[in-house]
């Protein structure tokens, strides 16, 4: 799971090339995603942005390309360039064989519904923050009803962004209910939270992030065991409701998003 704004696609591309050259793993064995950044939403910028990511990743196609945010950085009453303009340029990438599927990240159900009214190629994936403090229950229901796959990011509650965003909020990984569930399962807190997402949202994929080899290995050890149903339910009923990556950095009194309710079309 990549994005131009992460500024690491070159390193990922070098790693992929090394693996493909030295092992039996083939390009078609790896599902590669990247994302269109806010500054590249104009129709004439979408393809160059996609090709730049592909060049850095050293691949000839992407399996999935997402619109990273419904944001362009403009000020005014409406998002400009429009989401429709951007989506039609994304569809052209599919037509040209540069990407296999397209989707969105950080979009509300209302914004996806608007796209569906004019889309030739459907939204394949919606990637959103999802964890026990922000469960996305209604959005998941909408996506399942409309054949949109949900990918959950920040399943651990985005602990690495707390300092960056100067966030004053409870830490999910320190929640006593989460810690107790992990102890009963005999797993660490990260594994417990990833397992909760897979177990309670079985049609979704989950993207834990780590640079620590041991934690990466541990995050993969979540498929052959289950949380006790009572613990899974307890995590699903935690009273704290909080987005950790809430998009407040995109708000402006000049619009188009003046409040978080404007950005997310609701709470």
- Residue 163 near residue 155 (C-beta atoms within 8 A): no
Q: Look at the alpha carbons of 244, 131, 83, 98 in this order and tell me if their dihedral is positive or negative.
A: positive
Mark whether 6 is an active-site residue. Answer: yes
Task: Give the distance from CA 59 to its chain's centroid.
Answer: 21
DSSP 159-216: GGGTTTTT--S--GGG-HHHHHHHHHHTS-HHHHHHHHHHHH-TT-EEE---S-HHHH
| CA nearest to 107, candidates 25, 35, 187 | 35
**Angle at the Cα of 22 (from 17 to 28), degrees rounded to 5?**
55
Q: For residue 5, give Cα distances in angstroms to 2, 16, 115, 123, 131.
A: 9, 19, 24, 21, 23
From edge to edge, which strands make up the β-sheet containing 102-105? 33-36, 64-67, 102-105, 125-129, 149-153, 205-207
Radius of gyration of the chain (CA): 19
Active site residues: 6
């Amino acid at each position: 799971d990549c994005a131009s704004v992460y500024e690491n696609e070159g390193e990922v591309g070098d790693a992929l090339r090394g693996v493909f050259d030295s092992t039996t793993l083939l390009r078609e064995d790896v599902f590669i995603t990247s994302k269109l950044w806010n500054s590249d939403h104009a129709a004439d910028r979408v393809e160059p942005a996609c090709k730049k990511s592909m060049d850095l990743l050293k691949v000839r196609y992407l399996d999935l390309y997402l619109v990273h945010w419904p944001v362009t950085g403009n000020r005014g009453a409406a998002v400009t360039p429009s989401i429709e303009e951007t989506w039609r340029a994304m569809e052209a990438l599919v037509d040209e064989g540069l990407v296999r599927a397209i989707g969105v990240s950080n979009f509300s159900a209302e914004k996806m519904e608007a796209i569906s009214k004019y889309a030739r190629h459907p939204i394949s994936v919606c990637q959103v923050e999802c964890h026990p403090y922000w469960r996305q229950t209604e959005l998941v229901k909408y996506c399942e009803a409309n054949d949109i796959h949900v990918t959950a990011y920040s399943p651990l509650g985005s602990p690495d962004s707390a300092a960056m965003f100067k966030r004053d909020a409870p830490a999910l990984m320190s929640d006593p209910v989460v810690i107790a569930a992990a102890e009963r399962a005999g797993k660490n807190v990260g594994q417990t939270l990833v397992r909760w997402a897979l177990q309670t949202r079985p049609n979704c994929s989950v993207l834990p992030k780590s640079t620590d080899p041991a934690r990466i290995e541990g995050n993969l050890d979540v498929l052959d065991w289950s949380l006790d149903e009572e613990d899974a339910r307890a995590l699903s009923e935690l009273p704290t409701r909080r987005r950790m990556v809430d998009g407040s950095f995109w708000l402006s009194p000049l619009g188009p998003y003046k409040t978080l309710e404007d950005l997310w079309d609701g709470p």
